[in-house]
Structure 1
Amino acid sequence: MKLLLVHITIILLGVMSSYASTPIPSSALTIDENGVITGLPDKYQPASFDFSSAKLSIADRSLTLPASLKPLFIDTASDLFSSASNKQKKLTYDYSFIAVPSRELFGITVEAQNSNESIFIIINLNNMSVTEATLSTPTLGTYPIKITR
């Protein structure tokens, strides 16, 4: 898990290098079985993520992820916190959440289990919009994902 968080932080800082020339402090977030996110500054509370609808709620605003990204969350909602693996699904995912409050950015990493492929989603907390999504694979590198509503 620590390695994954370090990987996420490196990706997030690399993607955002055009925003600042100095290191940007970031923090790993936790999410409980009810979708409550902890670790964000008070001004972003309450915070939650609903896996059944792919909806992020931060303070008094919310964002439902675009249609092109929803299957990463909705298909796995019922099994996310279960210790038993779901043999019927082709892929299961690990989720990590990270925030860079000084830049008002929120990141979600979705990593396919048994694969080195991952998707990183950056959300602007100021206007609650997806600013970027990328697919990363060891053989093909990193590519942007077209965001569709």
Structure 2
Amino acid sequence: MVARIIELAVYRAQRTLANREVAEKAALAKERASFHFWAGASGKRYVHHIYSLRECPALPAANYVLVRRHEDSRAEALAIGRVTHEADTLNLAEIRQRGAELAADEVHVHLLAPSNKISKLIEFDLRTAQAQTELNVASAGSNRLH
């Protein structure tokens, strides 16, 4: 009888450990999914944290990409910019207003620029890449018409 109780206790402990491991892996996968890398025209990649437009917290000065997420999970960049207010709440208000104007549903935020100068360079790099992509799409479309 005692051996059976010990077996049951060991089984429950193993099951609890397995459930915890599954939960930790799911949380890690979710956390990884909450980041997106945007590539600039220079080829540099910038990691951005993903927030829904409604759940985005107040932010310090940062670069951002306003995004519309399509049903096929594709992220479409609608606008690229940066906020520079000293008040975090003003930065959030600016992002939410611009996002609402564009019908964005996500904001991707890059917080790793060490200075205002680097933040400007990142914004330029990302915007240039977006413009190049738009030109390529437009040119491919016009080639099909001829």
**TM-score scaled to structure 1, two decimals?**
0.27
Larger radius of gyration: 2
Normalising by structure 2, report the TM-score. 0.27
Which fold has the larger relative contact order, with Cα–Cα distance below 8 Å and residues 6 or more apart in sequence? 2
Question: Which protein has the bigger helix share?
Answer: 2
Say which structure is richer in strand: 1
